[in-house]
Structure 1
Amino acid sequence: MPQIQPLLVVAAALVDADGRILLQQRPPGTSMAGLWEFPGGKVEVGEAPEAALIRELNEELGIATHASCLAPAAFASEPLGERHLLLLLYVCRKWQGVPEALHATALKWVRPSQMYALDMPPADLPLIGLLDALL
C-alpha cells in the first residue's frame, strides 16, 4: 500500500462579540477558488501548530494573537489528491487589529447556522455542526 503523506493545516474560527465567525473567500487561481473557508494555512516543517496559526493570521488578515488565545476545538480529516489533509481548528475570541482580506477575495462574518448555505471546502463542512453547537 502506498504511503500517504499527511498535510497538516491549521485554521481559526475567529468569533466576534456577536457570536459570528469570520470566513474568507479563496482567490481566483488557487485550488478551490471562490469557496469560503476558515482563515489559516499549512504548518511548516519544525513549526508548532499554534505558531503556524499565529503566523498565518498575521499574513492573511493582518491581525495578531497569542497562543493562549487559541482554544483547540476540532479537527477534520480529508483525502486531498496524493496527500491527506489533517485540519486542526482553533477557536479564537481575542486578537489585535481589524481583519483585512490581504490574500482572500472577500471576508464575511456569519453565524455557524448560516455556513450550511455557503460553498465551503469538504474538510470544513463537518466542523459547521460542531461550531453551531459550541457557540
Structure 2
Amino acid sequence: MGAAIVDGSGRLLAAQRAEPPELAGGWEFPGGKVDPGEDDLTALVRECQEELGVLIEVGERVGGDWPLSEGYVLRVWIATIAQGDPEAKEHLGLRWLSMDRLDEVAWLPADLPIVHAVRDVLVKD
C-alpha cells in the first residue's frame, strides 16, 4: 500500500528508500505491506505511523492495482496528515515536491507511473 500524502499547498511527500541495496536512494510513496488480519487502509495508516511518525487521513484511491515484481501489487491512496510532522524514521530522507517539480527526484520505476496518475488527479481538482 502507498500513500500519496499531500499538504495544504498541494505538495506531494516523497520518501527516499534506505533499503534493500538495489533500491536504496530511489524515491517512493510511503507505505508497505499488509499484515495478516489487516485491511488495506488499516495497513496504510499503520505503515505511515511507523515510517513517518504521522497519523494520516486516507482519501481517494489512485488507479487500480499497480503491478510490482514477484506478483505483488501496489495500491495508492491520496492522503493528508491529520496529526504530526513527518520524520524519515525508515527512509534516507523526505522531500515535499510541488506538482511542477515531481520530476526532480529519481522515482523508483514502479512508482513513476503512479506519480503521473497522482499529478493528474490532484491537478484536475
TM-score using structure 1 length: 0.80
Distance of 1:70 and 1:29 partners within structure 2: 29
1:22 maps to 2:18:
no
Listed as ranges, the gaps of 5+ residues in structure 2 are none
- In the alignment, is the contact (CA less than 8 A) between 1:24 and 1:108 conserved in 2? yes
Other-structure match for 1:123: 110
Q: What is the match of residue 101 of structure 2? A: 114
Give the equivalent residue in structure 2 for 1:12: 3
Query: Larger Rg: 1 or 2?
Result: 1
Q: Is 1:96 matched with 2:83?
A: yes
- The amino acid of 1:48's aligned partner reads D
Give the corresponding residue for 1:60.
51
**Aligned Cα root-mean-square deviation (Å):** 1.8
Name the CA shift for 1:126/1:76 in 2 (closer, same or farther; >3 Å).
farther
Note closer, same or farther for the CA distance 1:52–1:30 as it changes in structure 2 (3 Å cut). Answer: farther
Segments of 4+ moved more than 6 angstroms: none
- Matched positions, count: 122
Flag structure 1 segments of 5+ consecutive residues without an equivalent: 1-9
> What TM-score does the superposition give when structure 2 sets the normalisation length?
0.86
Rounded Cα–Cα distance in structure 2 between residues aligned with 1:85 and 1:112: 28
User: Shift of the alpha carbon at 1:49?
Assistant: 0.2
User: Within 2, Cα distance between the matches of 1:31 and 1:43?
Assistant: 22
Report how far residue 89 of structure 1 moved.
Answer: 0.4
Cα distance change of structure 1 residues 114 and 75 upon mapping to structure 2, 3 Å threshold: farther
Task: For residue 35 of structure 2, give the secondary structure of its aligned residue in structure 1.
Answer: coil
Conserved? CA contact 1:76–1:127, under 8 Å: no
Residue deviations 1:56-111, cap 9 Å, x none?
A: 00000001135xx332122453341xx12210000012420111111111000002
Q: Which is richer in helix?
A: 2
Q: Tell me, what secondary structure is at the counterpart of 1:65?
A: strand
* Identity of matched residues, %: 35
